[in-house]
A and B are shown apart, each in its own frame.
Chain A
Amino acid sequence: MPPPTPAAAPHHRQLSAPALRDPAWLPRVAWTLAALALLWPMGVLTEFRPWVLLEPGALQPAIDFVGAFFPPRTDADFLRLLLRETWRTVAMATAGLALALLLAVPLALLSVRVLSLSGLAGRMAVGPAVLRQGVRWLLLVLRSVPELVWALVFVRVVGLGPTSGVLAIALTYSGMLGKVYADILESSDTHAAHSLMRNGTGRLQAFFYGLLPQSGAELTSYTVYRWECAIRSSAVLGFVGAGGLGQLTDSSMKMFNGAEVASILLVFVLLVWLADRLSAALRKDLA
């Protein structure tokens, strides 16, 4: 049905004309209300009462602690300690990520449906489909156990120290990296890879010549971002005895030494900034 033209219908009657009623409006209102109705009980459940923050009894200790942040501690002794622990944290994150890659890359390649030969013409065959789904489930299990839990397990096995942190990061991150690598590869343009496989090229060759050039930059920048996350993770793992900046933060916090905490946080900001620059440079280089 053609919409009425302004000439055919006077202006004030247009809005009531059925053709001009936006059919998307009512669903939008309904979904917004439904979202609010779902959020309310969640707020109650999590005791979400932001105004508590502003009560003087709660505010004063927080202000005192943050006030102690200034000036950050910068004497040579502490800086030397800070440097050593920073290096240990970076090493833990890097080693953890490298181990994670060893596991994540083969698992991602095994689970990528785009590289299915039987899926080239019609549906994927049962065997390969089951294998790919199985690997996806393995990745899901690996990443659903928080690294903190893995770390607590490994602290019992290998004792206190960075090794347990490295292993914990390796396991959780291999799950995350493998899943996201597979997703990136599957959502990229597969024309080139499929065309190669249709002409008899192997899966790995098709990956290196068809898929990787399409999504290399995205994969790299995601990996660098995960490295940044691993640095933050290693801080949390330090609280359970995995060493590094986290352990330092833990002891400074326990002693309410705001100046030390401030210095440590500044190092974190610096590391994240570094990761950000690295990622930007790599993306520019690979674009």
Chain B
Amino acid sequence: MKLVLQAATVLHPSAPSGAPAAVRAASLEVQAGEQLAIIGPSGAGKTTLLHLMACALRPTAGAVLLDGQDPWRLPRPALQRLRKALLLAPQVPPLPPRQRVVTAVLAGRLPHESLWASLRSLLHPQDLALAHQALAAFDLGDKLFERVDRISGGERQRVGLARALVSQARLWLVDEPLSALDPTRSRHALDALTCAARERGATLVATLHHVDMALAHFPRIVGLRDGAVAFDLPSARVTPAHLQALYAQHLHELSGPVDLAPDEFPGGPVPVGMLCR
């Protein structure tokens, strides 16, 4: 899927008024089947940019075009149909703790499955071979029938990535896929991800904190700083000077990834659970 951002600006819906936009006038063109990594210091707006591409956030100014179409001009049912072609993998894998790994992975097929088929799959998984294959690509073939809350954080993150492999999405937007993985696992996971995207002809956009990994695995790098695109270069032409400028005042993040607090939408106050029913 081809993705174009035209001077897109996003104000976070929950941001206090007067706060600077999380993404400012970002322009970008990603061809179908291309693979690119977004790097930048924490708080640069990487996740927001990814949400913008995934139609999870509406641009306050400018436009997002998916295959030449502005999703926000579509009627709502058409927008939801378009979302079937998108896969947004959040940094914190969205897996219910009591679910089994096989179900969590096969949930990637839901957009292209009828309600009836998905209910049947809940009773008895219909496509075990597919789920196993996707998990095996991430070295998790033996965890097929484990429960999500009985596997480690790194395994959970890879289960979240395996979901991409069973989906039929044409644009994969992956947020910090390596935040819970050690270097060996990271390399392996990125290999599996980029390889699978290439095989399927899917466009792959990933935000990464590991600059080395981004340079090694992605042909194109976008540097994001303070919500604006700082550079957009083939990875061979990214110089240490570029990186120094991108991470100025955040140089410690260049040497090693920092542990990020999960940043889903920072919503309003969380409702207090009912105590007496």
Contact = CB atoms under 8 A, between A and B. Distances in A.
Contacts of B274: 180, 183-184, 187
Interface stretch (A86-94, A130-138, A201-209): A201-209
B83 A198 contact: yes
Contact of B94 (A122, A191, A225): A191
A72 interface: no
Contact of B118 (A180, A209, A213, A225): A209
B85 interface: yes
Nearest to B95: A192
A192 B111 contact: no
B158 interface: no
A165 B210 CA distance: 66
Contacts of A120: 56
A198 B55 contact: yes
A214 interface: yes
Contact of B58 (A122, A197, A198): A122
Interface residues of B, number: 41
A199 B90 contact: no
A177 B87 CA distance: 35
Nearest to A206: B110
A145 interface: no
B273 to A, nearest CB: 5
A69 interface: no
Interface in A173-216: 180, 183-184, 186-187, 189, 191-192, 194-202, 204-206, 208-210, 213-214, 216
Contacts of A183: 274
B84 A199 contact: yes
- The majority secondary structure among interface residues of chain B is loop
A125 interface: yes
Nearest to B264: A191
A74 interface: no
Interface in B88-102: 88, 90, 92, 94-99
A286 interface: yes
Contacts of A287: 98
Interface in A56-101: none
Interface string A218-238: 000010010000000000000
A196 B163 CA distance: 11
A117 interface: yes
Contacts of A202: 110, 115
A30 interface: no
B87 A199 contact: yes
B80 A200 contact: yes
A70 B118 CA distance: 58
Q: Kindly state the interface size class of chain A when it binds its partner.
A: 35 or more
Contacts of B103: 209
Contacts of A195: 88, 90, 94
A180 B277 contact: yes
A54 interface: no
Contacts of A206: 110
Given A192-B94, A210-B94, A200 B271 contact: no
A191 B110 contact: no
Nearest to B79: A117
A121 B58 contact: yes
A227 B267 CA distance: 36
Given A199-B86, A205-B115, A205-B118, A187 B271 contact: yes
A283 to B, nearest CB: 12
A208 B274 CA distance: 23
B115 A204 contact: yes
A30 B90 CA distance: 47
A205 B113 contact: yes
Nearest to B122: A208
Contacts of B108: 199
Contacts of A204: 115
Contacts of B65: none
B55 A121 contact: yes
Interface string A232-267: 000000000000000000000000000000000000
7 contacts: A187-B274, A192-B95, A195-B88, A196-B94, A199-B87, A200-B81, A200-B82
Given A198-B86, A205-B115, 10 more contacts: A121-B58, A192-B94, A192-B96, A194-B94, A196-B110, A199-B83, A199-B110, A208-B118, A208-B119, A217-B98
The 4 A-B residue pairs with the shortest CB-CB distance, nearest first, are A200-B84, A195-B94, A200-B111, A200-B83
